[in-house]
Amino acid sequence: SEETSMKGALIGCGFFAQNQLHAWRDIDGAEIVALCDRDPERLAATAETFGITRTYTDAAAMFAAEELDFVDIATTVQSHRPLVEMAAGAGCHVICQKPFAETMDDARAMVAAVEAAGRTLMVHENFRWQSAVRKAIETVRSGAIGTPFFGRVAFRSGYDVYSGQPYLAEGERFIIEDLGIHILDISRALFGDVERIAATTKRVNPKIRGEDVATMLLAHEGGVTSVVDCSYATRRTPETFPQSLLEIDGAEGTLRLDAGYSLVVQTGGNETVTDVSPPILPWAERPWHNIQESVRIIQQHFVACIDAGTQPETSGADNLKTLALVQAAYRSAETGETVRLSGI
Ligand code: NAD
Ligand code: 89Y
């Protein structure tokens, strides 16, 4: 009901926040009552679209004026630490977009700040929550293909991400930090924590500053080897953006998540093929519908965890391990050496 619904604010009314605001409208137990963006035009346009009247161009002013249970931080990475620390100071639960931080120091400081406030911190690490990927994770965790020994998590596309998110073309780092982070996280969800990683990177598109291709080899603590590869320089048909494709070998069988959201499981001479296409929510549009559905799922998970007093699967503390993989991958690509996660 209205009285028991948590009251939240969203900071950063940009490209991706529009999805988050649509998804909040679908979620029971939470509502967005205030918006903040330092750009007054984006703030006003978003406030009008979603009918939210309390607006702020300054986050500190918002925290001072509003009684909030939680805050959804949808800004780019540079502002995450000050905003998360402000939110913790105001006693709010926090969801923060990926990449959570540019350095491990910033990430650890944010985890500590929200922990000290006794509140819940979740990173909006949504790819492992995509319904097709989730189905694959659950199938592997159920033991259907036996103990996995090999995995490949692949994301290869030529989709123009730069027009919607121009900053992606400008940073010194690009694909591992922006997109590789998600598929490294899927590999962790499937195969557990990682002991060491080796990576190569390349820039193919001359119009961008960072790397748009990365190929990573992970040795997981439990004994699985996974290959995690991503590219925004791959011109092929069908264009699979934004699908993550999977190939997993287990002692009793194999699983594939193929292009077109086809889940193929082969065990004991039998094959099952399941269409795991995500629904297109009323406010969603192809090809983003896959990601858009996962936004609703992860935000619902956040609310459910606060209600139940449990830690989100993609908590801030959990995300430190995904961020460490990102840092280790860049270090490996730079030095040409295999990097142990214990040193990050
Ligand atoms: P954007 O630049 O379009 O929007 C960010 C907004 O935040 C801007 O309007 C900016 O004015 C505002 N902002 C920045 N610092 C602020 C501050 N200190 N106070 C108030 N407002 C501030 O960026 P975007 O493309 O929407 O991306 C935002 C984040 O979402 C990025 O970290 C990106 O990696 C992430 N993202 C995630 C997914 C996903 O699937 N999880 C997809 C796309 C983008
Ligand atoms: O920012 C990225 C993300 O998180 O998902 C896809 C994306 O929008 C472009 O790579």
* Domain ranges for the chain: 6-119, 128-285+321-343
Nearest ligand atom owner, CA of 57: 1
Ligand 1 in reach of 30 Cβ (< 6 A): no
Per-residue confidence (pLDDT) for residue 318, from 0 to 100: 98
**Helix, strand, coil fractions of the chain, as percent rounded to 5:** 40, 25, 35
Ligand 1 in reach of 303 Cβ (< 6 A): no
Per-residue confidence (pLDDT) for residue 246, from 0 to 100: 99
Domains 6-119 and 128-285+321-343 share a fold: no
With vertex at residue 10, the alpha carbon angle to CA 175 and CA 110, rounded to the nearest 5 degrees, is: 60
Per-residue confidence (pLDDT) for residue 76, from 0 to 100: 98
Q: How far is the CA of 96 from the centre of ligand 1 (A)?
A: 10
Looking at the domain that runs over 128-285+321-343, which CATH code has it been given?
Answer: 3.30.360.10
Average pLDDT over every residue of 293-313: 98
Residue 45 has pLDDT above 70, yes or no: yes
Per-residue confidence (pLDDT) for residue 17, from 0 to 100: 98
Q: How far apart are CA 265 and CA 279, in angstroms?
A: 22
Ligand 1 in reach of 42 Cβ (< 6 A): yes
Average pLDDT over every residue of 281-307: 98
What residues are in contact with ligand 2 under a 6 Å CB criterion? Answer: 161, 165, 178-179, 182, 242
How does the average pLDDT of the chain come out, rounded?
98
Per-residue confidence (pLDDT) for residue 28, from 0 to 100: 93
Residue 3 has pLDDT above 80, yes or no: no
Average pLDDT over every residue of 23-47: 98
Per-residue confidence (pLDDT) for residue 275, from 0 to 100: 98
Ligand 1 in reach of 75 Cβ (< 6 A): yes
Average pLDDT over every residue of 256-271: 98
Closest Cα to atom 1 of ligand 2 = 178
Per-residue confidence (pLDDT) for residue 4, from 0 to 100: 81
- Residues sharing a CB contact under 8 Å with residue 68, sequence separation 6 or more, in sequence order: 7, 8, 9, 33, 34, 90, 92
Closest Cα to atom 2 of ligand 1 = 14
Query: Binning pLDDT at 50, 70 and 90, where does residue 314 land?
Result: very high
Residue 149 has pLDDT above 90, yes or no: yes
Residue 189 has pLDDT above 80, yes or no: yes
Query: Binning pLDDT at 50, 70 and 90, where does residue 31 land?
Result: very high
* DSSP character string of 304-335: HHHHHT---TTBHHHHHHHHHHHHHHHHHHHH
Per-residue confidence (pLDDT) for residue 254, from 0 to 100: 98
Average pLDDT over every residue of 291-320: 98
Per-residue confidence (pLDDT) for residue 197, from 0 to 100: 98
Alpha helices in 3-116, H assignment, sequence order = 17-26, 40-50, 59-65, 80-89, 104-116
Average pLDDT over every residue of 311-316: 98
What proportion of the chain, given as a percentage, has pLDDT over 90? 99
Q: Does the interface ipTM go beyond 0.95?
A: yes
Q: Using an 8 Å Cβ cutoff, are 131 and 276 in contact?
A: yes
Closest Cα to atom 36 of ligand 1 = 16
Ligand 1 in reach of 173 Cβ (< 6 A): no
Average pLDDT over every residue of 187-191: 98
Hey, what CATH topology would domain 6-119 get? Rossmann fold (3.40.50)
Ligand 1 in reach of 14 Cβ (< 6 A): yes
Per-residue confidence (pLDDT) for residue 2, from 0 to 100: 53
What's the pLDDT tens digit per position in 87-96? Answer: 999 999 999 9
Nearest ligand atom owner, CA of 99: 1
Residue 301 has pLDDT above 60, yes or no: yes
Q: What is the pTM of this model?
A: 0.98
Residue 1 has pLDDT above 60, yes or no: no
Query: Binning pLDDT at 50, 70 and 90, where does residue 297 land?
Result: very high
SS3 for 242? coil
